[in-house]
Structure 1
Amino acid sequence: MLLATVAVVGLRMLTDRYESTMTRAELLDPSARADRTDLDGPLNYLLVGSDRRPGDAGSEQRTDTILIVHVPPGLREGYLVSVPRDLLVTIPPGGGYPGGEDKINTAYEYGGGGRPGAHLLSATLTGLTGIRFDGAALVDFAGLRNVIDLLGGVDMCVRAEVKSIHTDRVFRPGCQRMDGDQALDYVRQRYDLPGGDYDRQTHQQQLLGAMLAQAGETRLRTDPVRLHRLIGAVGGSLTLDTNGVPVEDLLLALHGLATDGLRGVQVPSYPQMIDQVSYVRLDDEGDGLFEAVRGSRMSEWAGAHPRWVTRL
């Protein structure tokens, strides 16, 4: 009982410290927000990674990463569903945009970036998938560089040679430790990869899994200065919408979610050129995926469609 009390008090202190560094905002459009606040599962969260660069204005941002994080009942496993950035969708009116068909990664920009951009993107996703979200997070991927460095780097397994278009780096096949700059450079590449943007999605999923694994292995409790810096770096990279659930309760509910229980999922789709513009179109299996995410059949869907699932 004493140990449990100490653990809870410690968690409260950490979450209080974290909340003081973190930006809170209502990121979900009302049409995309789940009308419940329990944490029994299944849970669905929207994770949006901004490709913001220094000097960018909010309305000039597009989303480099769109992930649906699905946690089935029991909260012991999780699925990171990557939505292709070039997926052709119907974007509803919002933020001065009149509505129309376009790539899904433009919805955040059309909404004006930030909170209104996340509203329009979440409404677009709900219209496409029927999924209503239990929360959302807007991640500044550039800001994750410091987080990775404070963790001491992450272990990434490169499956095929990747040449960076941003630097002179060449990532050779094999498992290797990457610092923040290397890791973010690696996961941004999509040209000349065997699977193109699908490979980039897998690399981003791997990075998130590697960060969780490294955080679990790093002895942060014995290094309060490092822990304080890490909490500040994480908080400074996130804008969070927990749908009214205290962060402490969310962390307690998800404490049993292990990295070996994570799976990366790609949305079944195919490329198509329309008026000399490259798009991605949803195929029939995609509807089955979204139905599984809305309910409690994700494990069955993953078992029946191994082509689209990767163990992280």
Structure 2
Amino acid sequence: MAKSGKPKSGWRAPLWARLCAIFGCVLMVLSGGALVTSQVLVSRYADAVQTKDLFGNAASGATKQQVSDIKGPLNILLVGIDPRNDTTAPLSDSIIVVHVPKGLKQAYLYSIPRDLRVEIPPFEKTNFRGGTAKINAAMSYGSSIGGGKHDVAQGFDLLAKTVSKLTGIKKFDAGAIINFNGFQKIVNAMGGVTMTIDQNVKSEHLQPNGKPRPRKAECPTSGNCEHPYTGPQKQYKKGTYHLEGWEALDYVRQRYGLPRSDYDRQRHQQQFIKAMASQALSKDVVTNPIKLDKVLKAAGDTLIFDGNGHSVVDWGLALKNLRAEDMTLVKLPGRSLITNGRYQGEALDASAEEFFASVQSDTISSFLIEHPDFLQKL
């Protein structure tokens, strides 16, 4: 893959917030010889992670609970957003739910399509009356704090309520927000990530050298062109490659030109999360205090976390036995909604309701045996 050039800002984000737990786990699997170093890193990492109340219940400021209180089954909501200032309404560009069964020995990841049309419930804090819209708008409807300002944590609260209404999950046990700038820092701190690319992909946004593709003359920055770029494209061929941060970010955000569009992109995001987790927990990282420190610092700087009274390190301790091979990727079947030739968003197939029921009853493994088509392609 090309190694020159770096992308500039203005990108939308894939979701990498699964790392809020992964990097907590990394701390606890350092070799005995690095134990003292790990204690120092635990403190630095915990201090670096920004904690906020993401669920509207002031849980992050609640009395400290014991790590032993973290028991399965667990549901964690992870959201990736554009890096925006507080005068711009945030959009959740990527939404992933992690379900950890009772024994805390497995994790199931499934993506909620960003264009899924759902019922967004009323939200008193912003006087939002509720209505049907694409789910990625929920954060926007919930984020206004007056004076033209927006709070992404408050927006997360409405998104969580929306996902709860969709899935039937009554309460999320933890949540995290991560931005694309942080994702790229994490990958670079690890020295890049090796993954298998399962289909040929052309970049809508970057040239082969990593620089942004020029915009078409008829598509100014403020325009609404569907494909506003021109010129040569960065390409990702089928096979196994070592990706730098900018390549990984570019690859997992692509959907145009793919047979299944956003569903292919969701699969690529999940595949990369698994590859990233595997490398983060490899000896190359966990037994190298200098590299580990860089990785944890990058992760800490990018996260907004709410562990419902537990710190991110507490969660890492609780999930310390999880590894990449314990992560099962799930795909939700869906379809595009077209009205009078115009795209309105996405809808899930009726079978998704059965899957959500298995999440609530903590019987996903049995459901997947009976419905193998829900297993994501690796």
1:51 Cα shift?
2.5
Give, in whole Å, the separation in 2 of the partners of 1:269 and 1:13: 46
Match of 2:321 among 253, 256, 274: 256
1:191 Cα shift?
0.9
**Paired residues for 1:108-257 under 5 Å:** 108-112=139-143, 114-131=152-169, 132-167=171-206, 168-257=233-322
Does structure 1 retain, via aligned residues, the 8 Å contact 2:252–2:269?
yes
Higher helix share: 1
Match of 2:95 among 66, 73, 80: 66
1:259 Cα shift?
0.5
Moved over 4 A (4+): 3-12
Give the 3 Å change call, closer, same or farther, for CA 7–243 of structure 1 in structure 2: farther
The 3-state SS of whatever aligns with 1:245 is coil
Question: Structure 2 counterpart of 1:279, which letter?
Answer: G
1:58 Cα shift?
5.4
1:43 equivalenced with 2:39 (yes/no): no
1:18 Cα shift?
0.7
Question: Structure 2 counterpart of 1:19, which letter?
Answer: A
Provide, for residues 178-227 of structure 1, a one-character-per-residue CA deviation record: whole Å limited to 9, x for no partner: 01000010000011112111110011111111111111124335543332
Match of 1:26 among 53, 61, 68: 53
Question: Structure 1 counterpart of 2:268, which letter?
Answer: H
Question: Structure 1 counterpart of 2:187, which letter?
Answer: I
Give, in whole Å, the separation in 2 of the partners of 1:295 and 1:118: 25
1:118 Cα shift?
0.2
Give, in whole Å, the separation in 2 of the partners of 1:253 and 1:298: 21
Give the 3 Å change call, closer, same or farther, for CA 4–264 of structure 1 in structure 2: closer
Question: Structure 1 counterpart of 2:357, which letter?
Answer: E
The 3-state SS of whatever aligns with 1:219 is helix
Give, in whole Å, the separation in 1 of the partners of 2:76 and 2:313: 17
Structure with more contact order per residue of length (Cα contacts < 8 Å, sep ≥ 6): 2
The 3-state SS of whatever aligns with 2:88 is helix
Match of 1:292 among 358, 361, 371: 358
Give, in whole Å, the separation in 2 of the partners of 1:73 and 1:126: 20
Greater mean alpha carbon deviation, residues 92-101 or residues 8-17: 8-17
Provide, for residues 75-133 of structure 1, a one-character-per-residue CA deviation record: whole Å limited to 9, x for no partner: 12111110011111111223343211000011012212510110110011111211121
**Paired residues for 1:77-88 under 5 Å:** 77-88=106-117
1:28 Cα shift?
1.7
Give the 3 Å change call, closer, same or farther, for CA 249–148 of structure 1 in structure 2: same
Give the 3 Å change call, closer, same or farther, for CA 152–17 of structure 1 in structure 2: same
The 3-state SS of whatever aligns with 2:368 is helix
The 3-state SS of whatever aligns with 2:256 is coil
Does structure 2 retain, via aligned residues, the 8 Å contact 1:29–1:123?
no
1:92 equivalenced with 2:92 (yes/no): no
Give, in whole Å, the separation in 1 of the partners of 2:330 and 2:81: 20
Give, in whole Å, the separation in 1 of the partners of 2:195 and 2:287: 25
The 3-state SS of whatever aligns with 2:281 is helix
Identity %: 39
1:72 Cα shift?
1.0
Give, in whole Å, the separation in 1 of the partners of 2:297 and 2:334: 38
Give the 3 Å change call, closer, same or farther, for CA 151–304 of structure 1 in structure 2: same
Would you say how many aligned residue pairs link Structure 1 and Structure 2?
A: 306
Give, in whole Å, the separation in 1 of the partners of 2:286 and 2:116: 42
Does structure 2 retain, via aligned residues, the 8 Å contact 1:51–1:141?
yes
1:255 Cα shift?
1.1
Greater mean alpha carbon deviation, residues 14-23 or residues 82-91: 14-23
1:311 Cα shift?
5.7
Q: Considering only CA atoms, is the larger Rg found in Structure 1 or Structure 2?
A: 2
Give, in whole Å, the separation in 2 of the partners of 1:9 and 1:251: 18
Question: Structure 1 counterpart of 2:189, which letter?
Answer: L
| Unaligned residue ranges in structure 1 (runs of 5+) | none
Give the 3 Å change call, closer, same or farther, for CA 80–101 of structure 1 in structure 2: same
Provide, for residues 136-193 of structure 1, a one-character-per-residue CA deviation record: whole Å limited to 9, x for no partner: 0001123210110111111121111100000121001111110100001000001111
